[in-house]
Structure 1
């Protein structure tokens, strides 16, 4: 299926080593290769102090796509990033279990936004970007429930995801309401991305 659906001369190059993002693209029938962009995300964030969360997500995605496209100017490159914002605060991947418990406690009973940005690079430069937003309401959780969740999922999983949860796993139990496309929540909005690839005659259907 992927050999006929993807019309690019070479596989789509994803500027990320995220297995989730790669899986989303492959499940849509695209030929995908990955490369770590080597971008210091926190340094980009520091340089963009004061930007709205959506604009920050866009800048991060652009930085990743540009870094990989500069090394592979003959490839179609996708860069993606996601910013979690709750009120005026930005959340990152927790460094340890204690930070994960604290982040979930701060998000409990509140609605936060996941801003997922994608940058598409062709001919060695970023050609277009877009941002999609999902809004998630976490149910009220007491410390015992938070501790039980963190213990169940383990250190590797809570440290792997911004906010300390993975919605596609046990993290679904933390929420009371979700508004937004599932692929946006996972960090790669597929429908608008596929539409842009289709507009560039890169997809067979």
Structure 2
């Protein structure tokens, strides 16, 4: 066996479990060179959210992230399980993933001309115990959206955006919904990646 180069060794990590089926979260870990297995958490997210009714959105999104990681860790013992979740708030109202194309259109009409707050959380479970959690928020100013634009947008993006709480993919046509964006690109994609990588290094899951 050929010896590994120093750069190869520094990029090694302990395989982790990602408690999510999100394509964007998987893409982030892929790009960062993190070895993982994606196992979606089978939990009632809305029930977990209801338990936090009256709480701040940062606590809610971190709590759901932790619940996902803990649920997967029960059935799939592994040293490291990473959970993550996103939450959208507009004018004080929380939004879930749209249930239908008509529901998506209603969301977009409500978002029109307002500031969309996108919260992303993450939690890390080590040997079955919650050890770390965090959250971040990005603020996206939605431009005035005409009904004609919304119809054409959904004609091209539905059902790809059906799994997106904000009804958009920032890496695609979704960028055309906004006039200004303040916040991390990774948070907008659904996970505060820089903080996650920091935590994985602190707990020894990522070397270097």
Structure 2 length-normalised TM: 0.92
C-alpha deviation, 1:204, in angstroms: 2.6
Shift, 1:71, TM fit: 2.3
Query: Which of residues 3, 10, 17 is equivalent to 1:13?
Result: 17
The CA distance in 2 between the partners of 1:24 and 1:75, in whole Å, is: 21
1:64 to 64, 68, 71: 68
- What's the counterpart of residue 96 of structure 1? 100
1:129-153 per-position Cα deviation (integer Å, ceiling 9, x unaligned) = 0001111011011111111111121
Which string of whole-angstrom CA distances, capped at 9 and with x for unpartnered residues, describes residues 86-120 of structure 1?
A: 12200111111111111011111111111100000
Question: Which residue does the alignment assign to 1:151?
Answer: 155
Partner of 1:125: 129
TM-aligned CA deviation for residue 26 of structure 1: 1.3
**Residues 33 and 2 from structure 1, CA distance in 2 versus in 1: closer, same or farther, beyond 3 angstroms?**
farther
Q: Aligned to 1:162, which of 140, 162, 165?
A: 165
Residue-pair matches, total = 202
Match of 2:205, SS?
A: coil
Q: TM-score, normalised by structure 1?
A: 0.93
Q: Is the 8 A contact 2:17 2:78 kept in 1?
A: no
Deviation at 1:75, TM superposition (A): 2.2
Distance 2:18 2:156 in 1: 31
State the Cα distance separating 1:188 from its structure 2 match: 1.1
Partner of 2:204: 201
Deviation at 1:3, TM superposition (A): 7.2
Instruction: State which of 181, 195, 201 in structure 2 corresponds to 1:178.
Output: 181
Cα distance in 1, alignment partners of residues 138 and 131 from structure 2: 24
Task: Report the counterpart of residue 191 of structure 1 in structure 2.
Answer: 194
Distance in 2 separating the partners of 1:187 and 1:6: 24
Aligned partner of 1:30 in structure 2 is 34
Q: 1:114: which partner in 2?
A: 118
Tell whether the 8 Å contact from 2:91 to 2:114 is kept in structure 1 after alignment.
no
Find runs of 4+ consecutive structure 1 residues off by over 6 angstroms. Answer: none
Corresponding position of 1:142: 146
